[in-house]
A = this chain, B = another copy of it.
Amino acid sequence: MCRWLAYSGEPLKPAVLILDAQHSLVAQSLNSPLGVETVNGDGFGFGWYPEGSAAGSVPALFHSIEPAWHDENLRELTNNIASPLFFGHVRAAAGPPIQQTNCHPFRYENWLFMHNGFLDGFSLMKRDLVLAVDESLFPLIHGTTDSEVMFYLAITFGLADDPIGAMAKTVQFIEQTGEAKGVHFPMQGTLALSDGATLWAFRYSTAHRTRSLFHSVEIPALREMYPDAERLQVFGDKAKVVVSEPLNDVPGAFVEVPESTVAILTDDGYSHQPFGTPAD
């Protein structure tokens, strides 16, 4: 069980959320109040769309197998760039080895993807899942996690044209594969996905008991609630954060994403849609 954070909005110095917030991602890596494992010390990943990059640009990645809380390069990097859309992920390995190729987020062309959770029975299903990945994509799988296979399945199933539909087909395929192998609740997790413009955040598990997922409310609304809050001044009006658990204890600042739901966040605001397998 890992923790992740995704930001979209005006270009922001990522350290503000990754390192400096009350319950920042790095703080959560050492002590995560709502997580199953309290320590997430098995690798870190950070992906960002550089400030000023054109639509459809390939995002940049930083993957490290040092614990996030003492990674000097992470500190330097996230304090010295600005980005309008970035992902951060701390890993608590549930099996696959700790190596840079197993660090989230994963990237394909202009897409970023990350996952908190796991595929139950992955070692039983892995061969069938990997076989379903398009042959041309197969050599691009560099690591050994369930999450990366899930991403390449979604690309195979049409992510570029219909992200929500492709993700739903992916979940459906995983659940069918699990059923065939006697795995009752194969899918578990919260997922973040972006093409550089829109940010999708999914909360879904086969057992309908997914770990927590939250996103921030609109900043202007938050400013009205807390007109004197200095720490809000660093954020622009479009700033949005999606997180495994709230970054602070400010009442009203975060909205929970319900079970079996996808939250869609753009510069114009956010909306929620039911999410599940197509047959639901």
By a beta-carbon cutoff of 8 Å, the part of chain A in contact with chain B is 30-31, 38-39, 41-42, 48, 50, 60-67, 70, 72-73, 76-77, 79-81, 93, 96-101, 123, 126-127, 130-131, 135, 138-139, 141-144
Residues of B within 8 A of A30 (CB): 39
A127, chain B: closest CB distance, angstroms: 5
Please state if B81 and A73 are interface contacts (CB–CB under 8 Å).
no
Please state if B101 and A100 are interface contacts (CB–CB under 8 Å).
no
Please state if B101 and A144 are interface contacts (CB–CB under 8 Å).
yes
Known: A99-B100, A101-B97. Contact between A73 and B63, CB under 8 A?
yes
**A81–B98 CA distance with the chains assembled, in angstroms:** 25
Name which residue of chain B comes closest to A81, CB basis.
B81
Residues of B within 8 A of A96 (CB): 142
Name which residue of chain B comes closest to A133, CB basis.
B127
Residues of B within 8 A of A98 (CB): 66, 70
Number of copies: 4
A68, chain B: closest CB distance, angstroms: 10
**A79–B58 CA distance with the chains assembled, in angstroms:** 11
Please state if B63 and A66 are interface contacts (CB–CB under 8 Å).
no
Name which residue of chain B comes closest to A59, CB basis.
B80
Picked from B41, B99, B138, the residue with its CB within 8 Å of the CB of A67 is B41
Please state if A61 and B81 are interface contacts (CB–CB under 8 Å).
no
**A135–B131 CA distance with the chains assembled, in angstroms:** 12
A42, chain B: closest CB distance, angstroms: 6
Residues of B within 8 A of A72 (CB): 61, 63, 97, 100
Name which residue of chain B comes closest to A42, CB basis.
B70
Please state if A60 and B42 are interface contacts (CB–CB under 8 Å).
no
Known: A67-B67, A93-B70. Contact between A123 and B100, CB under 8 A?
no
Residues of B within 8 A of A80 (CB): 48, 50, 60, 81
Residues of B within 8 A of A41 (CB): 39, 41, 67
Which of A41, A63, A64, A81 has the most chain B CB atoms inside 10 A of its CB? A41
Residues of B within 8 A of A143 (CB): 144
A178, chain B: closest CB distance, angstroms: 15
Known: A67-B41, A70-B93, A99-B100. Contact between A138 and B127, CB under 8 A?
yes
Residues of B within 8 A of A76 (CB): 60-62
A125, chain B: closest CB distance, angstroms: 10
